[in-house]
Chains A and B, each alone.
Chain A
Amino acid sequence: MKRSLQLRQQQMMKALLGNNDDIADYIIGDQQLDARQRLSIYQSGYRIRLREVIDNDHPVLGSYLGDQLFEQMTEGYIDAHPSTFRSLRHYCDRLPDYLRSDTFFSQYPHIAELARFERGLLSSFDAADRDTVSVADLQQIPPEQWPTLQLRFHPSLQLFNADMNVVEIWQSIKAERTPPNVTQQTEYWVIWRNPERLTEFRSVDTLEQVLLDCFLQGGDIEKAAEITAQTDAVNTAETLLTYLFRWLELGWVQQLTDAQSPPIFDVV
Chain B
Amino acid sequence: MTDHNLGFGLGLRTPHFQDVLNTQPDVDWFEIISENFMVAGGKPKYYLHAIRERYPMVMHGVSMSIGSTEPLDNAYLQRLKQLANEVQPEWISDHLCWTGLDGINSHDLLPMPYTEEAINHIVERIKQVQDTLGRPLLLENVSSYISYTDSVMSEWAFYNEIVERADCLMLLDINNIYVSSRNHYFDAQDYLDSVNPARVRQIHLAGHSDYGTHVIDTHDHDVCDPVWQLYRQALQRFGPVSTMIERDDNIPPLTQLIDELNIARQIAAEVHSSKPLIREVAG
Contacts and interface: CB of A to CB of B under 8 A. Distances in A.
Contacts of A12: 110
Contact of B69 (A6, A27, A46, A129): A6
15 contacts: A1-B120, A4-B113, A9-B101, A17-B104, A25-B149, A38-B214, A42-B110, A42-B146, A49-B108, A82-B104, A83-B106, A87-B36, A124-B42, A127-B40, A155-B40
A136 interface: no
A13 B150 contact: no
Contacts of B45: 126, 129
Interface of B: 35-36, 38-46, 63, 68-69, 73, 76, 98, 100-108, 110, 112-113, 115, 117-118, 120-121, 145-150, 183, 185, 213-214, 216
A126 B117 contact: no
A33 B45 CA distance: 44
B117 A5 contact: yes
Given A5-B115, A83-B107, 15 more contacts: A5-B112, A9-B101, A25-B149, A26-B149, A27-B148, A35-B146, A46-B106, A49-B107, A82-B105, A83-B100, A85-B105, A86-B38, A89-B36, A127-B41, A129-B41
B246 to A, nearest CB: 16
Nearest to A49: B107
Contacts of B120: 1
A9 B98 contact: yes
Contacts of B105: 82-86
Given A2-B69, A46-B107, A49-B108, A126 B150 contact: no
A13 B106 contact: yes
B55 to A, nearest CB: 20
Contacts of A88: 107
B148 A28 contact: yes
Nearest to A24: B146
Contacts of B106: 13, 16, 42, 46, 83
Contacts of B102: 10, 13
A111 to B, nearest CB: 25
A26 B46 CA distance: 47
Given A33-B214, A84-B105, A87-B36, A127 B117 contact: no
Contacts of B121: 2, 5
Interface in A14-65: 16-17, 25-28, 30, 32-33, 35, 38-39, 41-42, 45-46, 49-50
A29 B90 CA distance: 41
B46 A197 contact: yes
Contact of B148 (A6, A8, A50): A8
A126 B44 contact: yes
A154 B214 CA distance: 51
A42 B145 contact: yes
Interface residues of A, number: 47
B147 A27 contact: yes
Interface of A: 1-2, 4-6, 8-10, 12-13, 16-17, 25-28, 30, 32-33, 35, 38-39, 41-42, 45-46, 49-50, 82-89, 124-130, 155-156, 193, 197
Contacts of B148: 8, 26-28
A155 B150 contact: no
A9 B121 CA distance: 13
A13 B103 CA distance: 11
A84 B35 contact: no
Contacts of A129: 40-42, 45-46
Nearest to B214: A33
A89 B104 CA distance: 15
A87 B102 CA distance: 16
B103 A84 contact: yes
B146 A9 contact: no
Given A41-B145, A155-B41, A32 B110 contact: no
B104 A84 contact: yes
A157 to B, nearest CB: 13
Contacts of B110: 9, 12, 42
Contacts of A82: 104-105
Contact of A9 (B63, B68, B107, B145): B68
A13 B101 contact: yes
A46 B108 CA distance: 7
Contacts of B38: 86-87
A257 B43 CA distance: 28
Contact of A87 (B35, B101, B213): B35
Nearest to A199: B42
A84 B101 CA distance: 10
A104 B139 CA distance: 45
Nearest to A38: B146
Contact of B213 (A6, A32, A39): A32
